[in-house]
Structure 1
């Protein structure tokens, strides 16, 4: 068993790692961290915190994110005093869940897991995946996306077909005639065929906005995606060798064409990563959560996810969802709170009834039907999160631009719109000293643009979550859930 200490504190957390199928990965000595967590959970723990990172997180990045996030939680002294007033014997167990969500990341257990601090990455490294891609040569880029778009057990023919199609797409940007056509919104037929090949041989399905994560998307239309990206890309401050913005007269036509031609590929990888987040959450992580509840039957469990991690933690609570929407293997008991930060998951995920599909409910609606969250379900959203606000629905807005009620889209993410289609409360982010008045079992959508505001490039402020005000939200949910369901005497 290995633990990691948050720099500058005495706080330890466990890092439990999973592969893309939800199977736990062993530590270097062959042991499994989950076993140590289960042992620790029985040692007077009152509250277990399970945290999941989102997209673009390899092991070092996950550690940096958990170090930062837990550090912000720790410095909320007033909140910590408040929970101890409610739960005098309060004892927390912190667990970071890791799943492979970076196509060219480091998934090995590095020395940092043995107690060393993670090496500081250059400020630009990992901050903008598009920028990282632009520094890769064609071969490395193709290898990365073959891994991202296909399953580990895909047969050789599938992988070869994907590789050939990617090679054609990547090479096309270096052809001036193709670059000029792409700049004009045109797509040569052979490239259209290459995109069709990618779609055919990847794990993506287009089953509509109420389907499981990874299939809750519109029909794949690479022409439309390229057109939208060219005309409506988020503002950026590109490095001299990168052009991430729209076709606005900047010099390097080939670089701009490469970005546009890769957008449908990124869209496919976005959908495959949503599917992976669900698979990992509903399999190994769900089983782990159930085991914690069995080993520590009086401990409350709180889950927090960021980005695609919101799918991970939702799926961990739900487990496999049957065709009729029921839960195939419900948890032994409800969890105490659920915090979904800038969620890259459908705004209709928890809907009672989806407006554009009468009689249909959100994929995770059974979590609420079964009362599997006794405390509040809290979300954040920000107008500055362009990853969720613009990239999430890319390729769908024009093809199927459905706006409902108060301009709610058919395809959109929680990080831009909150949870919709069910009873909930909408409010703005408050100072870290103020009380939200959360109530158990209800949804609270927090408009946090005032705080979640910093960031550039295509992702915008998507990862700008390490703020006192945001950590205070989680502590408020934890405290309310403790008041609603105090742990039994030990």
Structure 2
């Protein structure tokens, strides 16, 4: 499936979609990865070979329509930066990029139809038969933790939802107890072969009553909770925490699909190209986990060659993910430490941070020891010395820790007319609040400016990372 940007430029991209198990989905009977491999192979023999391959991954709450929308906007921003493209052409004579958008199902009950765009809405009715309610319980269980304990807790919540016409002011005791069971089950759901290193300091510390109260307040103020559903009933309100708990499941899914299917795809692309072809990876939110896992692989596999640049935009992964020793742990490196120790990225690694990103500031610690309503006062000034929290996202703090050559870019994210001095093998944390921001009227309690990355200045950083590689 070739998707053209909507501004009439020569920058197009291919959408390669995986299912929840990491299997590539066919589009009109064909695998797009095979089409891309054929293009790379044939271009190698032509007078216009591919010089650079860009692979991009969206984050949490991404179904097919959302993925298409995000890639359209990101690549349109890249295409508008003609000065950056001209620099690439100067440094890389014959510059001819191939862009790939990677899709993995990260939105519970999202639209995964490759051929059509459906309304971004899920309506759950509690006036159902026993069979249909059990089907809904199964769907929720698969997205939280596939255990019988989870199912029993969900049955309690569904039963309570049927007893109220409107959401009560406080949580019924049985619903709160069911929430606590779900939170515990979700925090135990990681299936990583080295789950201890993957989880690092994280454990769910979510206060059900606080989230429920915020849900009711938000409904009254007509503010989106970042889920896309309107909370008009007790059922919708009661199911808010189970929906939020998909955070944990999707975080693990990003890692799992990235280090298997994403890795295998990247390896195949490298195998059909010459060593002169450069590979650049960019992720957003949980997509930063996806692309990092794609580069890192597992301890049992290795890429054909290193990639050339890695850009992590508002990353929803641990700030300790790349360090040699996670603080307060006994000789445990960050989960993606091998990217540094084995030099799996030859060029720069670039990250962005924005104080207006409520998702990384609030939702990421939801899955950590800080808690979503922990009241942590986070200092966003990366130019001052500070004590970092045990759990926090790269989108707030940048990559941190021992054994890293880190440059907290004093100027922050640069305007288009200024040039970065990125160097190979170094990590650059860019304070980006000047550009990754939205008008106050559009601020969302749990999202903020998290998705406001289709800016020319963000694209400028991405181009500059590729240029320096």
Structure 1: distance between partners of 2:67 and 2:394 = 22
**Deviation at residue 200 of structure 1 after TM alignment:** 3.5
Measured after TM superposition, the shift of residue 219 of structure 1 is 3.7
The match for 2:433 is 449
- Quick check: 2:14–2:101 contact (8 Å CA) kept in 1? yes
Unaligned stretches of 5+ residues in structure 2: 44-48, 379-384
Question: What is the aligned counterpart of 2:289 among 311, 326, 332?
Answer: 311
Name the residue aligned to 2:387: 407
Aligned to 1:250: none
Looking at structure 2, the residues matched to 242 and 272 of structure 1 have their Cα atoms a distance apart, in angstroms, of 25
Residue 246 of structure 2 is aligned to residue 280 of structure 1: no
Please give the residue correspondences for 1:174-185 in structure 2 after superposition, counting only pairs within 5 Å.
Answer: 179-182=168-171
In 2, the alpha carbon distance for the partners of 1:463 and 1:259 equals 24
Greater displacement, 467-476 / 352-361: 352-361
* 2:91 corresponds to: 86
What SS is found at the alignment partner of 2:245? helix
Q: Using a 3 Å threshold, how does the CA distance of structure 1 residues 142 and 103 change in structure 2: closer, same or farther? A: farther
Task: Give the equivalent residue in structure 2 for 1:476.
Answer: 464
Q: Distance in 1 between matches of 2:11 and 2:133?
A: 38
Question: Any idea what SS the aligned residue of 1:434 has?
Answer: coil
Matches within 5 A, 1:63-462: 63-111=68-116, 136-138=124-126, 146-147=138-139, 149-150=141-142, 160-161=151-152, 163-168=154-159, 170-171=161-162, 179-182=168-171, 188-189=173-174, 191-193=176-178, 195-196=180-181, 199-200=184-185, 204-205=189-190, 211=196, 215-216=199-200, 218-222=202-206, 224-227=207-210, 230=213, 261-262=238-239, 264-298=241-275, 299-320=277-298, 327-394=299-366, 396-397=369-370, 406-421=386-401, 422-427=404-409, 428-454=412-438, 455-457=442-444, 458-462=446-450
1:240-269 Cα deviation digits (max 9, x unpaired): 666869xxxxxxxx9698777545424421
Q: How far off its partner does 1:77 sit?
A: 0.7
Contact 1:281-1:311 within 8 A present in 2 as well: yes
How many corresponding residue pairs?
Answer: 437
Cα contact 2:416–2:460 (8 A) shared by 1: yes
C-alpha change, 1:360 and 1:26, in structure 2 (3 Å) is: same
Q: 1:210 to 1:163 in 2, by over 3 A?
A: closer
Q: CA deviation at 1:22?
A: 1.0
TM-score (norm 1): 0.79
Query: Within 2, Cα distance between the matches of 1:367 and 1:68?
Result: 29
When residues 180 and 50 of structure 1 are mapped into structure 2, their CA distance, relative to the original with a 3 A threshold, is same
1:60 to 51, 62, 65: 65
Distance in 2, Cα, partners of 1:63 & 1:101: 14
CA contact (8 A) 2:200 2:334 kept: no
TM-superposed deviation, 1:143? 6.6
Measured in 2, the distance between the counterparts of 1:212 and 1:266 equals 26
In the alignment, is the contact (CA less than 8 A) between 2:59 and 2:286 conserved in 1? yes
Distance 1:456 1:473 in 2: 24
2:46 corresponds to: none
TM-superposed deviation, 1:297:
2.8
2:32 is matched with which residue?
33
Q: Distance in 2 between matches of 1:434 and 1:49?
A: 23
Task: Tell me, in whole angstroms, the C-alpha distance in 2 between the residues paired with 1:387 and 1:402.
Answer: 14
Deviations 1:47-71, CA, capped at 9 Å, x for gaps: 0000111111111111111111111
Please report how far the alpha carbon of residue 181 of structure 1 lies from its aligned counterpart in structure 2 after TM superposition.
3.7
> Closer, same or farther in 2 for the Cα pair 1:256/1:449, shift >3 Å?
farther
1:387–1:462 contact (8 Å) kept in structure 2? yes
Conserved? CA contact 1:7–1:67, under 8 Å: yes
Give, in whole Å, the separation in 2 of the partners of 1:466 and 1:23. Answer: 29
Cα contact 1:165–1:197 (8 A) shared by 2: no
Shift of 1:210: 8.6
**Secondary structure of 1:272's aligned partner:** helix
- Measured in 2, the distance between the counterparts of 1:229 and 1:357 equals 33
Per-residue CA shift, 1:459-490, capped at 9, x if unaligned? 11100001111000000000000xxxxxxxxx
Deviation, 1:204, is: 2.2
Contact 1:169–1:194, Cα closer than 8 Å, also in 2: no
CA contact (8 A) 1:317 1:372 kept: yes
* 2:137–2:155 CA contact under 8 A, matched in 1: no
TM-score normalized by the length of structure 2 = 0.82
Q: Displacement, 1:359?
A: 1.6
CA distance in 1, matches of 2:236, 2:26: 38
Q: Secondary structure at the match of 2:468?
A: helix
Residue 158 of structure 1: how far off its partner (Å): 7.2
Aligned to 2:452: 464
The alpha carbon displacement at 1:28 in A equals 1.8
Change in Cα spacing, 1:393 to 1:366, as seen in structure 2 (3 Å) is same
